[in-house]
A and B are shown apart, each in its own frame.
Chain A
């Protein structure tokens, strides 16, 4: 039996390394295998190198590195399969969560936010990255890998921006603009100029680019629509008008009371009782408004103006609801006290001033969301529960004005 020298062993090892066998374990296996063949099959009159050259083609069809490639494929196949499975499961859960989240949100059922959060996190951090890894493996051209990567980043940022928008978190608009920037200035140019060079993909590339431009343009249009600003102005001016009327009514009432208490035939205490109870109630409402504004602008420096708050929180009902209602949708103390104050004030007005039909400050049950088909709900819930920020502020200001109007009618 032929015994291989150390030089011959290193010769074989170097040769298989040079020919693309990278995995050390595989190198050792092949080396031993080749040595065994040489030791068992080479005749003593044969030349080692010639014999080696003659047996090595047994190992492959075209080149030796096929063994390395086949090993890599088999080793990654298991991961690949799991990745695909996780990708499909996460994608399915995410899609279901987003559909149910929307339904829950529209119906004002609890849990909508959790579902949106789950959907977007799964999509952005599990589904899309896995999709990228799997797709990137399938394409060979580097430029296509880059396009896929940018598309993935775009998808992640767009879904995060949508989540931020729905949850009324800060920086939603910035994220949204960043994602559109990526789409228009990174993805589209690379996709278009990459695809148009190849005659096979030219037509598809042009059509897809037009469609993406169209869809992207529409999205941009939606973000830039001025209608939101017009509504904000409307809310702003109506709270301001109510505020002005309130200030005027307060001033007039105080003047009247001051005159009456000097030389009126009526007793002094009556007016003071009325004034005190109105003042106390209005202050309580003012404090509630301030508390909501304080909460909305917490952690922001400089403090945002009311107009800025409207731009950020118009349509957001979670914020005021969290401040005014506790667990089990019960009104918190402050709101409960306002209701008691209103009822007491009306009782006082009825008893002392003989006003019977008080049509303002009605705290009877109201129709749910103003719709008679949905049944009745309490006054507190009707005016404040799941009611957007801007309307809660208007409703509170209107209450103050109504109190002053009622006070005025007694004077």
Chain B
């Protein structure tokens, strides 16, 4: 398990990338998918996931589709066109960030 600060900064990137790759998904499915892909190393907390999903929806980056499941309603999220663009931007930004971090931390380690 990674610390929540580390996950918080990358939450949007994770959500957008997952939804771009998998089409429509619902909240629980997203948490399970992340858990499965990372062997449980990353577990999204509901307290962070849902506020972010709602904010992304309000910004027009995600759209929802409500489906009746048994005796409750499930909201499926999909990325819009601008969301797809944002997803690739976020992934690129993160890639760049990683390179910088590797460089920065390596450098510090070498000095140390």
Interface residues of A (CB under 8 A from B): 3-4, 6, 9, 23, 25-26, 28-33, 35-37, 58-61, 66-67, 70-71, 73-75, 77-78
- The answer to whether B72 and A31 touch across the interface, beta carbons within 8 angstroms, is yes
Q: Would you call B50 and A32 a contact (CB within 8 A)?
A: no
Contacts of A3 in B (CB 8 A): 70
Known: A4-B70, A78-B58. A73 touches B75 (CB 8 A): no
In the assembled complex, the Cα of A70 lies from the Cα of B11 at a distance in Å of 14
Whether the pair B52, A74 counts as a contact (CB closer than 8 A) is yes
How far is it, in angstroms, between the C-alpha of A59 and the C-alpha of B50 when the chains are bound? 10
A37-B51 contact, Cβ under 8 Å, with A9-B72, A29-B75, A59-B46:
no
- The distance in angstroms between the C-alpha atoms of A28 and B75, with both chains bound, is 8
The reply to whether the CB of B47 lies closer than 8 angstroms to some CB of chain A is yes
Known pairs A29-B75, A66-B47, A71-B54 / 19 extra A-B pairs, C-beta < 8 Å: A3-B70, A4-B70, A4-B71, A9-B72, A23-B54, A25-B54, A25-B75, A26-B50, A28-B72, A29-B27, A29-B50, A30-B50, A32-B26, A33-B31, A36-B28, A61-B47, A67-B50, A75-B55, A77-B55
Chain B: CB-nearest residue to A61: B47
Bound together, the chains give a CA A163 to CA B53 distance in angstroms of 48
22 contacts between A and B (CB under 8 A): A4-B70, A9-B71, A9-B72, A25-B54, A26-B54, A28-B73, A29-B27, A30-B50, A32-B26, A32-B27, A32-B28, A32-B69, A32-B75, A33-B31, A36-B28, A67-B46, A67-B50, A70-B47, A74-B51, A74-B54, A75-B58, A77-B55
- CB < 8 Å: which of B45, B58, B74 contacts A32? B74
Question: Which residues of B, 23-82, contact A by the 8 Å Cβ criterion?
Answer: 26-28, 31, 45-48, 50-55, 58-59, 64, 66, 69-75
**Residues of B with Cβ closer than 8 Å to A?**
26-28, 31, 45-48, 50-55, 58-59, 64, 66, 69-75
Which B residues lie within 8 Å of A58 (CB)? 45-46
Q: Which residues of A contact B45 (CB under 8 A)?
A: 58-59
A60 touches B72 (CB 8 A): no
- Expressed in whole angstroms, the Cα–Cα distance for A73 and B45 within the complex equals 17
Q: DSSP class of A's interface residues: helix, strand, loop or mixed?
A: helix
In whole angstroms, what is the CA distance A295 to B3 when docked?
A: 76
Query: B31: which A residues are within 8 A, CB to CB?
Result: 33
Q: Which residues of B contact A37 (CB under 8 A)?
A: 28
Bound state CA distance, A78 and B54, in angstroms? 13
Structural contact, A32 and B72, CB atoms closer than 8 A: yes
Report chain A residues within 8 Å CB of B59: 78
- Picked from A4, A32, A36, A67, the residue with its CB within 8 Å of the CB of B51 is A67
Chain B residues, Cβ within 8 Å of A28? 66, 72-75
Quick check: B47 and A67 within 8 Å, CB to CB? yes
Residues in A whose Cβ lies below 8 Å from that of B48 = 70
| B71: A residues at CB distance < 8 A | 4, 6, 9
Q: Which residues of B contact A36 (CB under 8 A)?
A: 28
Chain B residues contacting A59 (CB-CB under 8 Å) are: 45-47
- The reply to whether B50 and A73 contact each other, CB–CB distance below 8 Å, is no
Closest CB in chain A relative to B55 CB, distance in Å: 4
